[in-house]
Amino acid sequence: MRRQFILLIGMIAILTMCNNWGWENIESDQEAQLNIFGLVSLDTSIISFVQVRQTLNLGEDEDVLIATDTVWYGDSPYDFVFEETYRSKFMIDSAVVTISDGTQTVRFFPVYTEDDYSGYYKNEYLFIKKVNVVYLDTLHRFIPQPQTNYYLEVTVPDGREVTGILITPAQPSLEKQSIPDTLHLLKSFTIPFAVLDDDHQILRTITEEEVGENEAIIEPGKASWSSLPESFSDTDDEEFRCTMEIRLTAMDANYYRYFVQKPLDDEFVSFVLGEANSGLSCGIEGGFGLFGAIAVDRIYRIAVR
């Protein structure tokens, strides 16, 4: 569970920093709109979560103080700092969040997470921290299944409500027995996998040394992907050897539209460029954002030149 929670925080940090789904820029005072990011994950290394945010009016403070403390770091009477913890007012920590498959309804509860780099000294004695709020199934009752309908309901204390619906993708499956134990980066190699007729997939090859990286969108009906040979120079290490992760991620229609189709339509070439998604709602009614799902299969191989 600890490893899952660390991975979850890392994923939230990436999405928060690299994508503009968190809130909407506004030009005049208006009624606050809810912004939702909900992920149903069939990957055992990432737990499902929901984030609830809202727009703010012009001139409104972005942060609210939620805690103060005195932190001692030594034995001297002067070895302390005052610590103030703030939460962004874009985030809502008092919503009622549930996900249902039509039979079982599971409540997700707010949990505070802290970015490792959120703290800084405002002066010599005052340390500032900022926290995120994420809604989790803290009772561990939510076990999503492939090709299943799920329904999201988010209600905030002032009565605003957002709903969402998705169909989880089929479980992706790499043909592990057909993938060699060692892959040669200077040669083309092929990664076979089971055909998914209805879901898009992303295939990534990730190496420890950040070489031979690949990322490809797999269209429904495809059964394999082939790499391009890596270029080689005399200065490269001919004895190079490292571990390669081969990760195949299936996406539901909402996730694909939000992170792949919409950025491509707007001439964005990277999934981490999310500015094109401003105002986009995928699987969400009553607000902005995304209610999407992923499923993952992965293996590890040795990569050499």
User: 107-150, pLDDT tens digit by residue?
Assistant: 999 998 876 556 666 777 788 888 889 999 999 999 999 999 99
Q: In sequence order, which residues have a C-beta less than 8 Å from that of residue 136 and are 6 or more positions away?
A: 8, 47, 48, 49, 108, 109, 111
How far is residue 247's CA from residue 218's CA, in Å, rounded to a whole number? 12
Residue (of 66, 62, 68) closest to 126 by Cα position: 68
pLDDT of residue 24: 46
What 3-state DSSP class applies to 201? strand
List the single range of 99-113, 140-154, 176-190, 227-241 with lowest mean pLDDT: 227-241
How far is residue 52's CA from residue 34's CA, in Å, rounded to a whole number? 7
pLDDT of residue 120: 67
The more confident residue out of 102 and 59 is 102
DSSP 114-150: E-TT--EESSSSEEEEEEEEEEE-TT------TT-EE
List the single range of 81-90, 131-140, 183-192 with lowest mean pLDDT: 81-90
Measured from the Cβ of residue 71, the count of other Cβ atoms closer than 10 Å reads 10
At 30, give phi and psi (nearest 5°): -160, 170
pLDDT of residue 183: 92
% of the chain surpassing 90 pLDDT: 51
What 3-state DSSP class applies to 82? strand
pLDDT at residue 275 tops 80: no
Beta bridge partners of residue 67, listed in sequence order: 85
Average pLDDT for residues 188-197, to the nearest whole number?
Answer: 96
pLDDT band at 200 (very low <50, low <70, confident <90, very high): very high
The H-assigned helical ranges of the chain are: 2-18, 253-256, 262-265
pLDDT band at 239 (very low <50, low <70, confident <90, very high): confident
pLDDT at residue 240 tops 90: no
pLDDT at residue 193 tops 70: yes
pLDDT at residue 154 tops 90: yes
pLDDT of residue 209: 66
Average pLDDT, the chain: 82
How far is residue 39's CA from residue 31's CA, in Å, rounded to a whole number? 26
User: 25-81, pLDDT tens digit by residue?
Assistant: 444 455 678 999 999 999 988 999 999 998 876 556 677 888 888 888 888 888 888
Residue 287 Cα distances to 23, 32, 87, 149, angstroms:
11, 10, 21, 20
At 254, give phi and psi (nearest 5°): -65, -50
How far is residue 192's CA from residue 224's CA, in Å, rounded to a whole number? 4
pLDDT of residue 269: 34
